[in-house]
Every structure is written in structure tokens, then in C-alpha cells.
Amino acid sequence: MWALYTDYMIGYKNDGSFNNIMPYANNLQWTDDKDTLAVTLTFDSILDLAEGRSHVILKKDNKIVFYGVMTQKVNKDKSSSYTVQDYAFYLNKNEDIFQCNGINAKEAIYQLLAKYYIGGAVIPLNTKITKFYKGKTIADIIKDIISQCSSEINEDVIMEMRSTVLWIDKVSNLKLDCQYILANDFQITRSMEDMVNSVIVSSNTESDASILAQASDENNIQIFGRMTKVLTVDGQNESQAQNTAQNYLNNFNSTKRELTVTLLDVAGCEDIRANRKINIQIPKYGMDGYYGVKSAQHTLANSIHKIAVTIDFSNANFVDSSTTGSD
């Protein structure tokens, strides 16, 4: 059973406790994508909530699906429309000045989060950070710190807010076992426009033209033509630069392939979020396994929960129907 709670309503006696307002709310929708560090919930209600003071919790049974602060409202004649963002809102909103003097990345992130009363659950990040940040948002500073740990981690890392705690984890740890009905409205898009099959890593110094490392896929170059990316780095030796080049090549050395489809929730689909992985089975187009969610738009109406997802399966083994004879 779904429930929507808030702790502040204008015109009511507010004692800090949360009250279920689901009977007075409709048009619930919550969205996120891989490029935005915040989940946004929107809904309509006849109740009058207050920006900044009204905190909102969406639950399915006893599980918290969303927890955030109301940031915007649009008053209408007989109802209002509300926008609620999870607490990553404050990491996106606040800019800071921050000096890292050789502390490890995990400690640097915890120091930043503590200033804004946000908890942290971060995988070990032992890379030493020596960098001065000024006028950058907290979210961008944390993203930059994580990017400096690429040779240590050797795989994609994601950030997501869970209640008032920022989780930073490896993508491989975020596979979901949700159950759903796959709608027949799916679309498959293929593109080579973002492909990179040759990578050069060089020093960030403008006057230094030396190449620290290179990585390429000659077979792919023969098929698609050469598409080169030049990366500039600070303070990396040749071994680290080679890892950087190879990691970038691994991430972009393929055609871009995306699936858009609607899922009807059977069990556990409230956990679908950007960057997490779900199991998709469309063998005709080479999808048979776990793939990363690029964006997710949840809707809840009359207790029916649907999710419009975009799935990136660029590294899938795509079987071209022109060579197999299939439809």
C-alpha cells in the first residue's frame, strides 16, 4: 500500500509528526536521470503546503521510496501543484570554497557532507586529493573528487541520495531483482555519433605536447573510421595514464544503443532509479541481462505503478538483422 506523508500543512496544528495525505493527493510522479543528482517528486493536492517547511515522504508499505523537501508550489483555484526534491537539492544548490591538502577522497567527501548535515555511505576511496575548489557546487566538487579515483576504482561509481544519506557505490553493486510486465511500446535507438575508438592521454600543461598513453581498437576503426578523444590529466604517471585511456575506451568504444519502454510494476519496481541495473530480456535486439538505467519516470495513479525507463545497453552484443536474416 502506498502512502504520502508530510510534516507541515498551512492552517493545521503542526507538531513535527508526519501525516498521511495520500487521500488528498493525485498525479504523483517522480523522476531522475544519470546526469542529475536528485530525485524530483511532483503531485497535486487540495492541501496547502509550504516551501522549505514541508518535508515529504513517499512509502510503499513500510519502505521509504522517497524523502525530500518541498521546493516549489503553484497555487490554483481549488488545488496546488507541488515540486519536492530529495536532499541532494542542497548539494546542487550550495557552492563552497574547499581546500584538499592530501587527504584521501573518502575523508574529503565526508568533510563536505558534514557541513550541510548530510550523512555519507561511501566505498573506500584512498586516492589522495590535493586540489583547491572555489565557487563550485558541493555536487560538482564531489564528482570531481570521485573522477580522480578512476585508476583506483576501475569501474563506474554512482551517487544517490537515500533519505538524508548520500550513497557512493560501484554500479556493479546495484543490480535489482524487480519484477515487471514489459509493455509493447518499446523503441530501440542506435547511434555511432558518440563513439570513441581511439584515446590519447596527455599532460594538462599547455606547452607540453608529450603523450603519456594511448589506447585504441583497430578492428573498430576499420569498421567505423577513426574517432579520437584527447584527455588531459594532472599528476599521473604512465601506468595511471594508461589505465585512464583504457577505461575511457572501454566506456565509449561501441555504438550507442538505448531502449525506451514502459514497465508495469509487479514487485520491487519502486527501487528502479537512474544508474541502477535491471534485467531486460529482448533477445531479438541483443538484450539478455542486466543493463544500466539512464532515466526513470515513475507514475502512480489508482494504486497502479508504472515506470517509463530509458536503458543504455551500448555494450550489448547487438545482432544486426541485416546479417542474420531475422525480422
Q: Do 183 and 297 lie in a common domain?
A: yes
Considering the domain architecture, whether residues 163 and 184 belong to the same structural domain is answered as: no
Burial class (CB in 10 A: 0-12, 13-18, 19+), 119: middle
pTM of the model: 0.81
* 56 and 149 belong to one structural domain: no
Half-sphere exposure of 117 (CA within 13 A, CB side): 3
Based on the fold, state whether residues 68 and 155 are members of the same structural domain. no
Whether residue 238 is predicted with pLDDT greater than 50 in this model: the reply is yes
Q: What's the rounded Cα separation, in Å, for the pair 54 and 14? A: 10
| Contact (Cβ atoms closer than 8 angstroms) between residue 144 and residue 190 | no
The sign one gets for the Cα dihedral 98, 51, 27, 60 is: positive
Q: How would residue 283 be classed by pLDDT, with cut points 50, 70 and 90?
A: confident
Is there a single domain that holds both residue 139 and residue 159? yes
Question: Does the pLDDT value for residue 324 go beyond 60?
Answer: no
Whether residues 98 and 233 share a domain: the answer is no
Q: How confident is the model at residue 317 (pLDDT cuts 50, 70, 90)?
A: very low
End-to-end CA gap in the chain: 42
Instruction: State whether 55 and 19 are in the same domain.
Output: yes
Largest Cα–Cα distance of the chain, in whole Å?
71
304 shares its domain with 202: no
* CA distances, 302 to each of 65, 66, 93, 100 (Å): 17, 19, 34, 50
What residues form DSSP beta bridges with 212?
Answer: none
What is the predicted pLDDT for the residue at 312?
Answer: 85
| Candidate ranges 206-210, 239-243, 264-268; pick with highest mean pLDDT | 264-268
Closest CA to 286 of 323, 234, 242: 323
What does residue 195 show for φ and ψ, rounded to 5 degrees?
A: -70, 140
Residues 247 and 260 reside in one and the same domain: no
Range of the domain at 228: 196-252
The total number of structural domains in the chain stands at 4
* Rg, the chain, Cα only: 23
